[in-house]
Structure 1
Amino acid sequence: MVSRGFGLLGRSTLPEGAGLIIRPCNSVITFFMRFPIDVLFVDAHGQVVHLIHALRPWRTSKMVRGSKYVVELPAGVLRATETALGDAIEIVPA
């Protein structure tokens, strides 16, 4: 398990099919990261309330009202899966 404070810091990539769920969370900071990520902001009902494509290192997102957790994914996943605002997200334990 990756701690919330360190997230993806120190990693050189995020493997295909992998992601990081951070909760509670309503904003993202990519300081010290080495690669861009796609970001989903999800409310308490599992609905996508905001998304960011390929957020680059050394950036911050806005604070997203209503977001209860964030899913960080490899850049390109949101476009490949055609994920959109309002989509329902189900987190299934591995």
Structure 2
Amino acid sequence: MLTTRKRTLYRTLPFTIIRADSFLTRLKGLMFRRTPLEEGLLIVPCNSIHMCFMNFSIDVVFLTQDHKIIKVVENLKPWRFVPPVKGAHAVLELPVGAIGSSSIKVGEFINL
């Protein structure tokens, strides 16, 4: 009998990750920032985002509590919204193009 071994891929990202886990840091996020990201912003807890008052696009990764990727949004533009994602516990906001250049995919895990 043949059995297949399930492979789990863990990613380590080449960015400094800043954690936003207080009411004020989560509320502010990246709003009003003038220059694009050079690092990542992990918003915890969070299951949806808006791009109001943003001046640049970003890539967005929705994570479960154990950091499994359940949704990715590339090149999210200012004044757009992502409705609540079922099962999401955190959102990782990255520089635009990071999802493609790092080959981030749903089902993988991120080491934070």
Instruction: Say which one has the larger Rg.
Output: 2
1:12 equivalent to 2:12? Answer no
Measured after TM superposition, the shift of residue 11 of structure 1 is: 1.0
> Partner residue of 1:69?
90
SS of 1:54's equivalent in the other structure is strand
How far has the Cα of 1:12 moved from its partner? 1.5
Which deviates more, 25-34 or 3-12? 3-12
Q: Helix, strand or coil: the match of 1:4?
A: helix
Instruction: Give the distance between the partners of 2:35 and 2:101, measured in 1 at CA.
Output: 18
Deviation at 1:14, TM superposition (A): 3.2
Q: Are 2:46 and 1:46 equivalent residues in the alignment?
A: no
Counterparts of 2:81 and 2:110, CA distance in 1: 23
How many Å apart are 1:62 and its aligned residue? 2.0
CA distance in 2, matches of 1:9, 1:15: 12
Normalised by the size of structure 1, how large is the TM-score?
0.90
2:47 maps to 1:26 = yes
Question: How far off is 1:13 after superposition?
Answer: 2.1
Secondary structure of residue in 2 paired with 1:40:
strand
Q: Shift of residue 58 of structure 1?
A: 0.2
Higher strand share: 2
Distance of 1:24 and 1:15 partners within structure 2: 20
Native 8 Å contact 1:35 1:56 kept in 2: yes
Q: Is the 8 A contact 1:48 1:84 kept in 2?
A: yes
- Name stretches of at least 5 consecutive residues in structure 2 with no aligned partner: 1-18
Do the aligned residues in 2 keep the contact of 1:39 with 1:52 (CA within 8 Å)? Answer: yes
Normalising by structure 2, we get a TM-score of 0.76
| Partners of 2:37 and 2:58 in 1: CA distance | 11
